[in-house]
């Protein structure tokens, strides 16, 4: 799968993984507008061939592929943000 990774101008440590190049005029059906509000204007960081055996530094490859296939994107957030969200919602 070809993978395109974007970062926004509002969140330096958040990355959006997509299977196609981002086009604000042709967002995938059901794409959450909240992501664009959170991240701001997107710019391409890298594109590469994402295979199941490829190692990613801060994301689980299987999870990235699964999320892209099921919801059209994968959003990578810093681990401390995830921990804070988990604390907020589950504790």
User: 33 lies in which domain range?
Assistant: 2-90
What does the pLDDT look like over 14-57, one tens digit per residue? Answer: 999 999 998 877 776 778 888 888 899 999 999 999 999 999 98
- This prediction's pTM: 0.81
- Domain of 14, CATH number, reads 3.10.510.20
13 vs 79, higher pLDDT: 13
Q: Which residues contact 52 (CB under 8 A, 6 or more apart)?
A: 61, 62, 65
Number of domains within the chain: 1
The percent of residues in the chain predicted with pLDDT above 70, rounded, is: 86
């Amino acid at each position: 799968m070809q993978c395109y990774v974007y970062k926004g101008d509002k969140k330096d440590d958040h990355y959006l993984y997509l299977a196609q190049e981002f086009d604000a005029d042709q967002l995938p059906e059901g794409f959450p507008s909240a992501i664009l509000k959170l991240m701001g204007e997107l710019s391409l960081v890298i594109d590469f061939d994402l295979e199941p055996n490829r190692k990613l530094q801060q994301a689980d490859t299987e999870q990235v592929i699964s999320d892209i296939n099921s919801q059209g994107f994968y959003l990578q957030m810093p681990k401390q943000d995830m921990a804070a969200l988990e604390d907020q919602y589950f504790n």
